[in-house]
Chains A and B, each alone.
Chain A
Amino acid sequence: MTFKIIVCAKQVPDTNVIKINPKTGTLMREGVPSILNHDDANALEEALKVKDQHPDTTITVITMGPPQAKDLLIECLAKGADEGILVSDRAVGGSDTWATSNVLAAAIHKIGDYDLIFAGRQAIDGDTAQVGPQLAEKLDVPQVTYVEEFKIDDNMKDITVKRAMEDGYELIGIQTPCVLTAIKELNTPRYMFISGIFSAKNKPLHVWSAKDIEVDLEIVGLEASPTNVFRSFTPAPKGKGLMLEGDTQQEVVQKLLIGLKGKHVV
């Protein structure tokens, strides 16, 4: 039986290049190359690894974005995904995380059956980490976020994941169908294959409108989004830290207390 994986991916501006307009507080996207969001590349890679092990696996990559987001899907197909779906419609433009997950949930309903949904933890342009979890809620399937290790049993049903925590990890057993969000520790993404680049055009790549996915237009797009970006800014760099030295712990603590008292912190 075919094991069906859906990978959610987003085309984002390359944050190594992007700058913020200090006056308007908006991203200056002009001339900035678009890339496959880093965590999403990890999500795709893990799906591809499942396919390497179990050739009877199909991988569908889904993204929402403007027409040029097709490039991201071609990149995923060139790495080994089987099918790409772009949801592109002015009606869904400007969606925040809530509205975006409504769109993705509707599109996944249209796709039909699936065993596993892999998404990246978060996108480097918004850093919200909300779309994956919201999607799981709306599809009413269990979820594990911050996945740094993934193992699937040969029965293709039982999954064990290691979930990264700030101070350790959780080992979680979960069954398909479910949503997992990937972090960079999960794997090292592969490159496109040259043969994959030239054969990508032979693989299905669909562009769906809001109408195609039969989504309620009241819950998608800018108007329907409960959150708005107020302002973007580059945080001012912190000042240099102060290293305290001393022969004994007591001496160092004493110096610290003097310093803190001097600044009226304690």
Chain B
Amino acid sequence: MNFQLTKEQEFVRKMVREFAKNEVEPIAADIDKEHRFPVETIEKMAKYGLLGVPFPTEFGGAGGDQMSYAITVEELSRVCASTGVICSAHTSLCCWPIFAWGTDEQKAKYLPNLLSGKHLGAFGLTEPNAGTDAGGQQTRAVDGGDHWLLNGAKVFITNGGYAEIFVVMAMTDKKKGTRGGITAFIVEKSDEGFSIGKTEDKMGICASSTTELIFQNCKIPKDRILGTVGEGFKVAMSTLDGGRIGIASQALGIAQGAFDVTVDYMKSRKQFGKKLSQMEALQFEVANMATQIEAARLLIYQAADMKDKHLNYGPKSAMAKLFAAETAMYVTTKCVQLHGGYGYTKDYPVERMMRDAKITEIYEGTSEVQKIVIAANVFGK
């Protein structure tokens, strides 16, 4: 048992914290207000390797580990949850399944551009009628001889409007359903019959791009299947196990960021002739928040460490995501309360952070889904 970060992981934190402070924080409020995807930040993240942290250098990655990736998303999300999720969805949901399930040819073709950040990636599983019930896929892929023909639509796709490469699930055999009936495809933005639909107008993470993907007789070459035909559900579920580390880290970052600005605020805000930080009732709130944040961090780092060691980390990442998301919601709500009326205005970042926190309880598996995963591990499937 070793709770110390390695030297490299400490340096990753130092680097991303500096980067976030100089490049991300100054524009966070503006891009939220303008609902503007921060293209300029993504270019800078690409330059420094923040879009390929946990992948080997032979494919153009930074040669880091899952822990460093978790730290990266955490530090970005401390100042801007939108920037955090852009990194997380790209890394966990597009780069990872291609890295883990792709053929040598697929890896050679897609990973260098994705990991260097030249191309952004996205993942398409959710449909209008298949959210938590992912098995209810209505997007169909039909064998057309030398190609597959995709028809249907995906919704709520993070990075949708700016991605070049998409990992998309479609039903290839409805009779088999979830187990054996779903197949994972690599879709390129320029594929015939593929288009981006509506862009969602969201409560939070407003600077991230969330769109529909539309497939109308979309022709996909045969060599674009990820895994084998019928293995799509396994591809998707293994991808989401890792994605949960990313979203848990995002939630942790939001909580930590809100906590930090609130502690600073409490040290300067005076009421009844005393600083808020000198009032015991409020100190107790801070103590509770600090403890929950630290507990969430330990769960996440444990899940990331287990993934690095190729252990069965799925149930742990579900716990990490469940607990971190609830912590983010709890902490940001308290932080707004501790700011009083100011906290409810857009002049203070906690207002944005509270809106951003909510999504972490919903996407990449709702808190309820995490409980299903955790309970299944307790009672056996």
For window 168-206 of chain A, which residues contact chain B by CB distance below 8 Å?
Answer: 191-199, 201
- On whether A198 and B15 interact (CB within 8 A), knowing A74-B7, A191-B48, A193-B48, the answer reads no
Smallest CB–CB gap between B163 and chain A, Å?
21
In the complex, which residues of chain A have a beta carbon less than 8 angstroms from the beta carbon of B19?
A: 191
In the complex, which residues of chain A have a beta carbon less than 8 angstroms from the beta carbon of B63?
A: 194-195, 198-199
> Quick check: is A45 within 8 A (CB to CB) of the other chain?
no
> Quick check: is B342 within 8 A (CB to CB) of the other chain?
no
> Quick check: is B50 within 8 A (CB to CB) of the other chain?
yes
Instruction: Tell me the dominant secondary structure on chain A's binding face.
Output: helix
In the complex, which residues of chain B have a beta carbon less than 8 angstroms from the beta carbon of A48?
A: none
In the complex the two chains form, is B64's CB within 8 Å of A198's CB? yes
> Quick check: is B12 within 8 A (CB to CB) of the other chain?
yes
Residue of B nearest to A201 (CB): B8
Which among B14, B18, B57, B72 is the interface contact of A195 at CB below 8 angstroms? B57
**Complex: how many Å from CA A74 to CA B64?**
16
> Quick check: is A40 within 8 A (CB to CB) of the other chain?
no
In the complex, which residues of chain B have a beta carbon less than 8 angstroms from the beta carbon of A196?
A: 49
**Top 6 A-B residue pairs of the complex, sorted by shortest distance between their CB atoms:** A194-B49, A194-B62, A198-B63, A195-B62, A192-B15, A197-B11
> Quick check: is A75 within 8 A (CB to CB) of the other chain?
yes
**Complex: how many Å from CA A78 to CA B7?**
12
Smallest CB–CB gap between B75 and chain A, Å?
12
In the complex the two chains form, is A198's CB within 8 Å of B62's CB? yes
> Quick check: is B139 within 8 A (CB to CB) of the other chain?
no
**Complex: how many Å from CA A152 to CA B354?**
52
Bitwise interface map of B from 10 to 36 toward A, beta carbon under 8 Å scored 1, else 0: 011011001100000000000000000
> Quick check: is B68 within 8 A (CB to CB) of the other chain?
yes
Residue of A nearest to B23 (CB): A191
In the complex the two chains form, is B48's CB within 8 Å of A78's CB? no
In the complex the two chains form, is B53's CB within 8 Å of A194's CB? yes
In the complex the two chains form, is A195's CB within 8 Å of B49's CB? yes
Which among A71, A191, A197 is the interface contact of B18 at CB below 8 angstroms? A191
Bitwise interface map of B from 46 to 63 toward A, beta carbon under 8 Å scored 1, else 0: 001110110001000111
- On whether A197 and B48 interact (CB within 8 A), knowing A191-B18, A191-B19, the answer reads no
Smallest CB–CB gap between B9 and chain A, Å?
9
> 14 A-B residue contacts at CB 8 Å?
A75-B14, A192-B11, A192-B14, A192-B48, A194-B12, A194-B49, A194-B63, A194-B68, A197-B11, A197-B12, A197-B62, A198-B8, A199-B57, A199-B63
Smallest CB–CB gap between A81 and chain B, Å?
14
Interface size on A, residues (CB 8 A): 14
In the complex, which residues of chain A have a beta carbon less than 8 angstroms from the beta carbon of B14?
A: 75, 192
**Complex: how many Å from CA A252 to CA B8?**
62
In the complex, which residues of chain B have a beta carbon less than 8 angstroms from the beta carbon of A195?
A: 49, 57, 61-64
**Complex: how many Å from CA A193 to CA B72?**
12
For window 118-157 of chain B, which residues contact chain A by CB distance below 8 Å?
Answer: none
Smallest CB–CB gap between B308 and chain A, Å?
13
**Complex: how many Å from CA A192 to CA B19?**
9
In the complex, which residues of chain A have a beta carbon less than 8 angstroms from the beta carbon of B49?
A: 193-196
Smallest CB–CB gap between B99 and chain A, Å?
16
**Complex: how many Å from CA A53 to CA B52?**
26
Smallest CB–CB gap between A48 and chain B, Å?
13
Residue of B nearest to A78 (CB): B11
Residue of A nearest to B57 (CB): A195
For window 65-86 of chain B, which residues contact chain A by CB distance below 8 Å?
Answer: 68, 72
Smallest CB–CB gap between A151 and chain B, Å?
24
**Complex: how many Å from CA A72 to CA B14?**
12
Residue of A nearest to B51 (CB): A194
**Complex: how many Å from CA A61 to CA B162?**
40
Smallest CB–CB gap between B5 and chain A, Å?
12
Smallest CB–CB gap between B127 and chain A, Å?
35
**Complex: how many Å from CA A195 to CA B53?**
8
**Complex: how many Å from CA A153 to CA B245?**
50
Contacts A74-B7, A192-B48, A195-B63 aside, 17 further interface pairs with beta carbons under 8 A come to A71-B7, A74-B11, A75-B11, A75-B14, A78-B11, A191-B15, A191-B18, A191-B48, A192-B11, A193-B48, A193-B49, A194-B53, A195-B61, A197-B64, A198-B8, A198-B63, A198-B64
Smallest CB–CB gap between B20 and chain A, Å?
10
In the complex, which residues of chain B have a beta carbon less than 8 angstroms from the beta carbon of A194?
A: 12, 15, 48-50, 52-53, 62-64, 68, 72
Interface-central residue, B18, B49, B52, B61, by most chain A CB under 10 Å: B49
Smallest CB–CB gap between A23 and chain B, Å?
24
**Complex: how many Å from CA A74 to CA B62?**
16
In the complex, which residues of chain B have a beta carbon less than 8 angstroms from the beta carbon of A71?
A: 7
**Complex: how many Å from CA A203 to CA B121?**
33
In the complex, which residues of chain B have a beta carbon less than 8 angstroms from the beta carbon of A191?
A: 15, 18-19, 48
**Complex: how many Å from CA A145 to CA B7?**
35
Smallest CB–CB gap between A216 and chain B, Å?
35
Bitwise interface map of A from 205 to 225 toward B, beta carbon under 8 Å scored 1, else 0: 000000000000000000000
**Complex: how many Å from CA A23 to CA B52?**
50
Residue of A nearest to B11 (CB): A197
In the complex, which residues of chain B have a beta carbon less than 8 angstroms from the beta carbon of A197?
A: 8, 11-12, 15, 62, 64
Smallest CB–CB gap between A26 and chain B, Å?
26
Smallest CB–CB gap between A69 and chain B, Å?
14
Interface-central residue, A192, A199, A201, by most chain B CB under 10 Å: A192
In the complex, which residues of chain B have a beta carbon less than 8 angstroms from the beta carbon of A201?
A: 8
In the complex, which residues of chain B have a beta carbon less than 8 angstroms from the beta carbon of A199?
A: 57, 63
Residue of B nearest to A197 (CB): B11
Residue of B nearest to A75 (CB): B11
**Complex: how many Å from CA A191 to CA B13?**
12
Interface-central residue, A75, A192, A194, A197, by most chain B CB under 10 Å: A194
Smallest CB–CB gap between B376 and chain A, Å?
35
Smallest CB–CB gap between A126 and chain B, Å?
24
